[in-house]
Amino acid sequence: MIKNQFISLVFVFISAATMAQADCVLGVGLTEDGTLIEVFQMNEIQQEKLANFGAELKYRNELLNDQLENVMKRHPQSNATELRQLADKYRGVMDSMAVIQTMIDKKVLALFNEKQYELYLSLCKEASRSPFIVVPAVYNDSVPIKNR
């Protein structure tokens, strides 16, 4: 059930995002932390960093939302040229939000151990999405996976 919930969240976020690529996002800040923690069986250190990265994402997006509001309030909108310019500025801010989301997701993925990352890859494959490539972390309590 948790696996299906995660895949559903990935599809919801991908549909809502304005990205042209079919990236396999975690959706940190959009997906409930508890879901990510449960699906990937995150340890305490990972959970703490997940919360910190979520707060960072929220802060950065608040700044960008303020920027969007300023663009909407201050940009003239009386003709087609001005509307196109407004759309370009709006798109630029939205693209920045997507870049920040990707950056935060990659930071969380870099916390994953090899088994967690393999689960992520498997879920991405199942959802027909392109995974972000990161090098999984090695923890003292991690058990290395033997060559297959």
What is the per-residue pLDDT across 78-111, written as a single tens digit (0 to 9) for each?
A: 888 888 888 899 899 999 999 999 999 999 999 9
DSSP 8-state code for residue 146: P
Q: How far apart are CA 118 and CA 83, in angstroms?
A: 46
Checking if the pLDDT of 19 tops 70, the result is no
- Listed by start position, the domains of the chain span 2-126
Q: Which residues, at least 6 apart from 114, have a Cβ–Cβ distance to it below 8 Å?
A: 136, 138, 142, 144, 145
pTM value is 0.75
